[in-house]
Amino acid sequence: MKQYVTYIRVSTKKQGRSGLGLDAQRKMCSDFITSQNGVSVQEFIDVESGTHRDRKGLMNAIQYCKQNNCALVIAKLDRLARDVEFCFKVVNTGIEIHFTDMLQMNTLLLGVFAAVAQYERELTSDRTKKALAVKKRQGCKLGGANEKWQETYNNKSKEQKEKEQMRKGETKRQRYHDNIDTKTFLRVLKMVQPEHCVADNPKEWEWVGIDTKCGRREQMLTLMRNFKENDEEGRIFRNWDFTDISSKKNRDGLCAYIQRIRKSFLI
């Protein structure tokens, strides 16, 4: 009996908590697997926007399929992404993928439907921006907390507010440390400057000794480029352009990057 892995994605935490959208996708995948006389062996879920490429659930699903020779089932193409390039990168990982809303999938159809999904996303974004611009011109206050939340917040003591801000800051720092770029760059630092990165915890590193002198800048940028080129999913350092490693943008960017990571660990 053929084994299948299901991947489900919703865009918001509210949908994730309520199950809105999850059950419908789960049923579509289950019906497809049943029609193929297969069995579902694992399910992976992401609560992320389709514009985010760094999705833990999706990457784990792909890895599981590779290791266990399973096929991946996704309810709809837009649950994978509304991004043509990213869709093809996932499809080109070599695993067998099925979309329940497009049973007769081929490269041409994937390109067409992915392009339509991306175009719809861009139209939605453009309409939203224009609508917000109109509201702003009319004097409406955009964003921020609603009145009920603001009232609750104002009634809190100074100590409660400080603890809340500290908790939010710690959560934000932890997300930054868990980011794949940050984790990969810490590996780069340990490879190029091991004498300053002895401890397991980066908080205990000799950050004052880490620099970009004596060819270290080129070594770090070369390693970063290698990590990027060897990443099949295209997640690592995707905002960096290593066409010209010695460019001023890369030189200045590397120094700023080191200082930003250093600050996040030493706060």
pLDDT digits (tens, 9 = 90+) for 169-183: 888 889 999 999 999
pLDDT at 120: 65
Q: Report whether pLDDT(197) > 90.
A: yes
pLDDT in tens, 23-35: 889 999 999 999 9
Q: What span, in angstroms and rounded, lies between the C-alpha atoms of 82 and 93? A: 18
Instruction: Provide the CA 144 distance to its chain's centre, in angstroms.
Output: 25
Residue 253 carries which side chain, given as an amino acid letter? G
CATH of region 3-112, choose from 3.40.50.261, 3.40.50.1390, 3.40.50.800, 3.40.190.10: 3.40.50.1390
Q: Which of these, 29, 28, 11, 7, lies nearest to 20 by C-alpha position?
A: 11
pLDDT: which is higher, 22 or 190: 190
Please give the residue that has the higher pLDDT: either 85 or 218. Answer: 218
Mean per-residue pLDDT for 65-75? 93
C-alpha–C-alpha distance, residues 74 and 81, integer Å: 11
Assign 90 a pLDDT band (cuts: 50, 70, 90).
Answer: confident
| Mean pLDDT lowest among 82-86, 88-92, 184-188 | 82-86
Using an 8 Å Cβ cutoff, are 99 and 29 in contact? no
Domain spans, the chain = 3-112, 179-266
Radius of gyration of the chain (CA): 23
Contact assessment for residue 242 and residue 225, using Cβ atoms and an 8 Å cutoff? yes
Q: Is the pLDDT of residue 188 over 70?
A: yes
By C-alpha distance, which of 37, 13, 21, 121 is closest to 76? 21
- pLDDT band at residue 15, thresholds of 50, 70 and 90? low
- The answer to whether residues 233 and 62 touch, using CB atoms and an 8 Å cutoff, is yes
- Residue 8 near residue 44 (C-beta atoms within 8 A): yes
